[in-house]
């Protein structure tokens, strides 16, 4: 499996109940960086996981913390060595 670094933008939400208009106007999407094993890459999404483990009871591999990133939010993705 490839290990990749994904740079992407995410929505931003302010949990406050009383936000001045100038603060609302200053809001921008959040730039994020995530690293993981690349599981799926297609025209709509990128899916990475943080790790794998062998499920000895079932005789199969399980995956930790899967994350799906919408393709339109991906700014850059590069393979790590």
pLDDT tens-place string over residues 7-20: 999 999 988 889 99
**Residue 79 in contact with residue 3, Cβ under 8 Å?**
yes
CA distance 22 to 27: 9
Looking at the structure of the chain, the number of domains it has is 1
- pLDDT recorded at residue 23: 92
**79 has a pLDDT exceeding 90:** yes
Query: Span 31-57, mean pLDDT?
Result: 94
| Among 35, 34, 27, residue whose Cα is nearest residue 11 | 27
Q: What percentage of the chain carries pLDDT values higher than 90?
A: 77
Domain residues for the domain of 44 are 3-80
Query: Span 39-66, mean pLDDT?
Result: 91
Query: Span 31-48, mean pLDDT?
Result: 98
């Amino acid at each position: 499996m490839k290990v990749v670094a994904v740079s992407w933008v995410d929505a931003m939400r302010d949990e406050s109940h009383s936000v001045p208009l100038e603060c609302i106007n200053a809001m921008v999407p959040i730039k994020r960086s995530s690293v993981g094993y690349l599981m799926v890459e297609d025209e709509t999404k990128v899916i990475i996981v943080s790790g794998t483990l062998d499920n000895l009871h079932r005789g199969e591999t399980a995956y930790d913390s899967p994350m799906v990133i919408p393709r339109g939010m991906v700014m850059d993705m590069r393979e790590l060595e």
